Each structure stands twice: as C-alpha cells, then as structure tokens.
Chain A
Amino acid sequence: MYNESAAQKKYLAGLRHKKWGITAARWGILVVFLLLWEALARLGVIDAFLLSSPSRMAGALWTLARTGELWLHVGVTLWETIVGFVVGSVLGIALAVALWWSDTLCRILDPYLVVLNALPKIALGPVLIVWIGSGMPAIIVMSLLVSVIVTMVTVLGGFLGTEPEKLTLLRSFGASKLQCFTMVVFPGALPTTVSALKLGIGMSWVGVIVGEFLVSRAGLGYLIVYGGQVFKLDLVMAGTAVLCVLAALMYLGVAYCEKRLRARRAHA
C-alpha cells in the first residue's frame, strides 16, 4: 500500500526466503527418509519382509484400494472416530458446564474426577466388550470414554479461569448466572475449549484404534492387527501410514478452526 523502503523490501524478501527454506526442508526430510528406506530395502541391508518398504506399502495400498477394502476400513474407522469425538466433546463440555454451575457438585465429584483422569481408560476395554458386546458401539464408547474426561477437565479449567472481576462487572449490570455464563464464561474460555478439542481428537483416535485391536471385523485398527497376525507387514505399515495421514488431517482441521478463531479475536 505505501512505498516500502528498500530495507523493508529486503527484510520481507529475507522472510519469504526463510519460509521457503523451511517448507523445502520439511518435505525434504520425508522424501530422503522414503528414498533411503526404499534403497536400503532393495539393497538387502534391511529385511523388507519385516520392515516393508515404501514401494511394497504402495503396492499393498493399491491392492486394497482396487478391491475397495481400503475405503471400507477407512470409512469405518473415520466414522467411529468422528462419532466418538463429537459425542465425547459434547458430553465433556456439557459436564464441564454442570460442574461450573454447581460449585458443590464440583467439590463432591472432585476426587472421582482426579481418579478418572489418572486412570488409563483403555483398561476398561474388556469390561466394555462384556457389557456392550463386541462391535462398533463398544469401540465408539471406548473412544468417547478416552476423550470425555480430558475434554471436561480442560474446559472446566477454562471456565473456572474467568476473572472474578469480569463476573462482578456483569452482575453489576444485573446479569443472571445464565447471562454470566453465555456472555463471559463461555466466550472467554473458547480458546481453551478449542485446545481441549485438539487434545480430544487425539484421544478419540487412541480409543478407536485400541477398540479395533480388541474387537472388530473392520477398520484400520483391524487391518493393522490382521496384518500382524498373518505376518503381512506391508499391510501393517500401509494401515499405519493411512492412519497417520487421517489423524493429521483431522488435527489440522481443528487447528485451522482454532487459527480462524484467534485471528477473529485478536485481530490486532
């Protein structure tokens, strides 16, 4: 917009240069890693039967994609994760609201929350299978169980972090408790809530994959376990790679929402 000085132009150019360098290095690492892996496998330095190789993984993926099996597994796992994540998040936030609302309830339940938070929820897997049966519902419950506590605790922390003086101010205008919540507590804790969602999405993946390890006939977790049992390491590696990509994409989605939110807020 203005006439930038030469120094500013140089500064910006340097900045762009650096950004490019970093992006290139990021991709470079991946490419070098894959090439090295492939080369070592072909040269027989590493055992491609045990460690697979990028080309063998690609081959396995291609076969899976052609038979349509890949889409089934991806679809099942995605569905379970999204349902587990959404239900776990909604439930976690709702519980946080309830605990914020009633100080007494919060204090009564505090020791239980501490224990539940510390407990590796995965340990409940076998119990869930007995109760719910082996199938998708058990996996979804597993997933939401793993994410719900961490979401609740983090969001509640955000709610309780509201500056008391902001509440005083609002109450001086005659605001009710509900208004205090909707006008200050919730919007103020929105960044924390989004961070909680970021944590929750990782947790949901853990829950789903462990659930699929334990009981399932489909899904990426199933594919990985099956591959391991029949000693098709290409399948295991391919399944893991797909999982990486999906989890990263989902995380980026939430991170993108967070960035949008921050940009809209700070706008500074």
Chain B
Amino acid sequence: MEDALLVFDRVCMRYHQESGETAVLEDFSLSVRRGEFVALLGPSGCGKSTVLSLAAGLLRPDAGRVLLRGQPIQSPPAHMGYMLQRDHLFDWLTVRDNALVGLRVRGKPDAGQLARVDALLESCGLAEFAHAFPGQLSGGMRQRAALVRTLAVEPDFLLLDEPFSALDSQTRIQLADEIKQALAGSDRATILVTHDVSEAISMADRVVVLTHRPARIRSVHRIALEGSPMQRRRDAQFRDYFDRIWKELDVHVQ
C-alpha cells in the first residue's frame, strides 16, 4: 500500500440529473502502484470513464477518497496524461503545435521541452509530419500524435480511455506495442480502459473486471506474461487468461 501511487478508497459516485440520479460507482476501491499497468474491463456504461475522470481530478467523489501519493486529488494533477478514444487533435494546429498543447497550457515550453517533443515525434514516426495538419494524417498517425501530446507533459501516470477503439485492428496492435515501448523502463502507472479482452491481457500487469452499473470490482486477474503485447499474444498461456476473463464477462452479460 505504501508504494501505491493512485488509490480509490471506497469511492461512491452519482450523476444527478433532472430525470433522476444514476449511481455509477458504489464502494469502489482500487490501488495502482508505481510502474504498474492496470486494465479496466467492463460492459459499456458501467462507469469506467467515470473512474478515469475521478483520477484526472475532473470529478469529485460523493463519498470516499481518491488519493494521489496519499493526497486527495482536488484538480487535474500536473503530471498526468489523459488519452481519449478519439484523438481530438485541433485541426487548426500543426501536428507539432498539437503535441505542445499540454505544455502551452502551463506556459511557454522551454528549449528542453521542445527538444523532447521533437524527439517523441521522431520516435513515433511523425517527424516528417511535424508541420502537417491533422487532416493529412491517417487514423493511426493521429492517435500517435495524441500519444505524443500526452507524453509531452512527462506524466507520472497515464489514463487511457479506450484509446485504440477507433482504429483498425492492425493499427491498434501496432500502437499497443508502441505505447508499451514508450512506457517501458519508466515507473509510470497506467490505467487502461477497454472492452477488448485480448488488448487488456496483452498490455496489463493486472486486469480488473467490473460489474454492471453501479460498478464494483468483480474480479482481479494478475497477468504473468512477459514481453511486448505482440509477444504476449503469442504466448501459450494467453488463451487461458482469455478464456478465464471472457467467462467472467460472459456471466454477467446474462
């Protein structure tokens, strides 16, 4: 518990609307360690995105606490990366300017930060598109640019909300590899929201399966696979994990 970076401590969360209130999280507890990669799997509408919004400091829990390094999160933390399903690149800015958006919110990027962004663009194969506009890029390229924008602020922890689901299957596997590579060796914590079981197993150290709304933790699966997402997919044990987790999901669909 002491090296936990991000802790959800018996969190309750409801949305209030004129038509009624929706209980989304009920007594939700989860802790993510430094360097750990956690995947959240659950049916759509169960509250996965809400978990990330809480971690991002965009929402406040109704009860319970969300802690970052032991401190309650009040507003979006400085070293956080948040990636959404769609890239949301600004089409009036070049790829490089898009990548700099997060830094610019915090002021004028210094030479070191600029150099690092250029290096990130380079490593994502975007160097030659740095001065192109997002309209000229393919879906995979755009999501890579969004990844660079996320990593540019040097996040300690990453919140990935189905970042691959708008991509074709080949691109998503490729991008999964690239993201894991970008994270390798760092002690960043990552929470990935997905409803793709294979994706969760191929990337995460721990897969957390959620119930229907209000979301509770249904089961937790420690994934003892090594290597890149691609290598993991080829592992003999991959199928076993898949079947086990698939059953979990299947059960509560009915």
A-facing residues in B19-78 (Cβ within 8 Å): 53, 56, 58, 75-76, 78
B133 CB-CB contact with A under 8 Å: yes
**Contact across chains for A171 and B88 when beta carbons are under 8 A apart:** no
Given contacts A165-B88, A188-B90, contact A172 B82 (CB under 8 A): yes
**Contact across chains for B92 and A187 when beta carbons are under 8 A apart:** yes
A-facing residues in B74-112 (Cβ within 8 Å): 75-76, 78, 80, 82, 84, 86, 88, 90-92, 101-102, 104-106
Q: A190 to B91, alpha carbons, bound, how many Å?
A: 12
**Contact across chains for A267 and B133 when beta carbons are under 8 A apart:** yes
A170 to chain B, nearest CB (A): 7
Render A168-179 as a binary contact track against B, CB cut-off 8 A, 1 for contact.
111111110001
Q: A243 to B56, alpha carbons, bound, how many Å?
A: 58
Render A205-222 as a binary contact track against B, CB cut-off 8 A, 1 for contact.
000000000000000000
Q: A165 to B90, alpha carbons, bound, how many Å?
A: 12
**Contact across chains for A174 and B105 when beta carbons are under 8 A apart:** yes
Interface of B is mostly: loop
- For B106, the chain A residues whose CB sits under 8 A away are 173-174
Q: How many residues of B contact A (CB 8 A)?
A: 24
Place the interface of chain A in its size category. Answer: 20 to 34
Render A144-175 as a binary contact track against B, CB cut-off 8 A, 1 for contact.
00000000000000000001011011111111
Contact for B136 among A166, A168, A171, A268, CB less than 8 A? A268
A184 CB-CB contact with B under 8 Å: yes
Render A256-268 as a binary contact track against B, CB cut-off 8 A, 1 for contact.
0000000001111
- For A179, the chain B residues whose CB sits under 8 A away are 105
A183 CB-CB contact with B under 8 Å: yes
B170 to chain A, nearest CB (A): 24
B83 to chain A, nearest CB (A): 9
B125 CB-CB contact with A under 8 Å: no
Further pairs besides A171-B76, A267-B136: 7, Cβ < 8 Å: A165-B88, A168-B58, A173-B153, A183-B90, A267-B132, A267-B135, A268-B136
